[in-house]
Amino acid sequence: MKLLKRSSGRFIDLNERLQRIIIGTAILALTLAVGSGAEEVLLKNGDRITGTIVSDNASVLKIQSDALGMLSIDRAFVQSPAYIQRKVSDEDRQEAAEENNKRRAAEWLRKLSLGYQHSGGNTRRTSGRLGVQLNRKTEMDEWTARTSLYYSSSENKMDAQKSYGFLRYAHFFSEKRIWYHFYKLEIDHDRFANIDYRLLPLTGLGYWFSDASNNKLIGELAAGYELTSYRDGSPSSDQAVLTPHIIYQKQLFKGFRFEADSVMYFPFESFEQYRLRSEHSFVHALTEKISWRISLIDEFNAAAEGDAKKNDYRVVYTLEYGF
């Protein structure tokens, strides 16, 4: 049999070399079998720790090392094993999906309001106001539809008939929910101001100055095109308008709040021919769904037609039901 020569000059039989290889392989296999429960943790700085992983979660990895004992390692410093990172990523995606579903889930507000006033004596006067509001709101957008009808008579003769309504959609630019863009369509009717109907589509920007539970302040600025048709047959008018709008709510004390809603309409051709609509209210929540409201409503039109008064204001007492 062929012999192998070593650097020392001694010779060994090939069978002896094969035996040593077999014995070394067996020892290595036995070592691996004994240490098969051990794992290697690679840190982001390049260090390696060998031992048995006791627990592993999104924040801390615990490993039992024969040389170092029990170690707790911040998960942010661990490069591998990475299966917990993948698990956390899956959980994050699930949480994000749940959060997205919450945002998509709409909250509905439906409100009916009825106001009535009657006076007797020298002058018999009755007045009524009916209002309906629908609101669909998510974390990122909002739909609102509102209408109000006002009627009054004196000595059994009608002396006021007004209606106002709008449809509005608004959506936030980002998750901070401060800036938003909106579209709005307003519809007006005022029998004794010679307005058969007034249509005003608008678009603009809004900003939440305050969104605290007891103090809300919103500012809007929009532009639109106003079309007015008159009851007496006069030619219809149309003009571009600029409309700043302020909405304010303040919780005064438990069960009582103050609300202010004011909007102005400035024609681009002549700002002096502006209109103003404002409503200032004190609201008392009688129950979770029923409220009592007293409102001062003021409507001013610097360009009133014919015998119509430029300023029209009224105080209205209203019972509201929300569901």
User: Which pLDDT belongs to residue 223?
Assistant: 98
Distance, CA of 256 to CA of 254 (rounded, Å): 6
Q: In the predicted model, what is the mean pLDDT of residues 223-243?
A: 95
Is the pLDDT at 2 greater than 60? The verdict is no
Amino acid identity of residue 19, one-letter, is Q
- Tell me the domain boundaries of the chain: 3-102, 106-322
Averaged over 268-280, what is the pLDDT? 94
Percent of the chain exceeding pLDDT 90 equals 50
Say how far apart CA 166 and CA 200 lie, in whole Å: 9
Task: Record the tokens describing residue 223, joined without a space.
Answer: 């532009």
* Domain 106-322 coded CATH 2.40.160.40: yes
8 A C-beta contact, residue 124 and residue 102: no
Q: How far, in Å, CA of 39 to CA of 56, rounded?
A: 13
Least confident of 5-9, 77-81, 203-207: 5-9
First to last CA, the chain: 102
| pLDDT tens digits along 81-120 | 765 544 555 666 676 667 666 656 788 999 999 998 776 6
Q: For residue 296, what pLDDT is reported?
A: 93
pLDDT classification of 224: cutoffs 50, 70, 90: very high
Q: What is the pTM of this model?
A: 0.67
More confident residue, 120 or 267: 267
3-state secondary structure of 20: helix
Q: What is the pLDDT of residue 87?
A: 52
Question: How does residue 1 score in pLDDT terms, banded at 50, 70 and 90?
Answer: very low
What Cα–Cα distance (Å) separates residue 210 from each residue in 80, 133, 174, 192, 249?
Answer: 46, 23, 16, 39, 10
**What rounded mean pLDDT belongs to the chain?**
84
Using DSSP bridges, classify how beta strands 60-65 and 39-43 pair: parallel, antiparallel or unpaired. unpaired
Under CATH, which number does the domain 3-102 receive? 2.30.30.100
Average pLDDT, integer, range 157-182:
93
pLDDT at 81: 73
Q: What's the whole-number mean pLDDT along residues 294-305?
A: 89
- Give residue-wise pLDDT tens across range 249-264: 999 998 999 999 999 9
Q: Label residue 5 by pLDDT band (50, 70, 90).
A: very low
Give the list of residues 6+ apart from residue 37 with CB closer than 8 angstroms, or none: 52
The whole-number pLDDT of residue 26 equals: 54
Q: 171-180, 203-212, 300-309: which range is least confident on average?
A: 300-309
**pLDDT at residue 212 above 50?**
yes
3-state helix, strand, coil in the chain (%, to 5): 15, 60, 20
Give the separation between CA 70 and CA 139, rounded to whole angstroms.
46
* pLDDT the model gives residue 34: 43
Does the pLDDT value for residue 235 go beyond 80?
yes
List Cβ neighbours of 292 (8 Å cut-off, separation of 6 or more).
283, 284, 286, 317, 318, 319, 320
Residue 86: Cβ-neighbour burial (10 angstroms; 0-12, 13-18, 19+): exposed
Nearest to 301 by CA among 274, 279, 280, 278: 274
Residue 35 pLDDT: 44
pLDDT in tens, 131-148: 999 999 988 899 999 999
Comparing CA positions, the residue from 48, 49, 80, 41 lying closest to residue 65 is: 49
In angstroms, the CA 269 to CA 292 distance is 41
Whether 298 contacts 281, CB under 8 Å: no
> Could you please report the per-residue DSSP string of 127-160?
EEEEEEEEEEE-SSEEEEEEEEEEEEEETTEEEE
Q: What is the pLDDT of residues 28-67, one digit of tens each?
A: 544 444 444 567 888 888 888 888 888 887 788 888 888 8
Task: State residue 9's pLDDT score.
Answer: 44
Matching residue, tokens 């709510």: 249
> Can you tell me the distance from the alpha carbon of 216 to that of 212, in angstroms, rounded to the nearest whole number?
6
User: Exposure string (b/e) for 248-279, b if CB count within 10 Å is 16 or more?
Assistant: bbeeeeeeebebebebbbbbeeeeeebbebbb
Structure token pair of residue 228: 């007015």
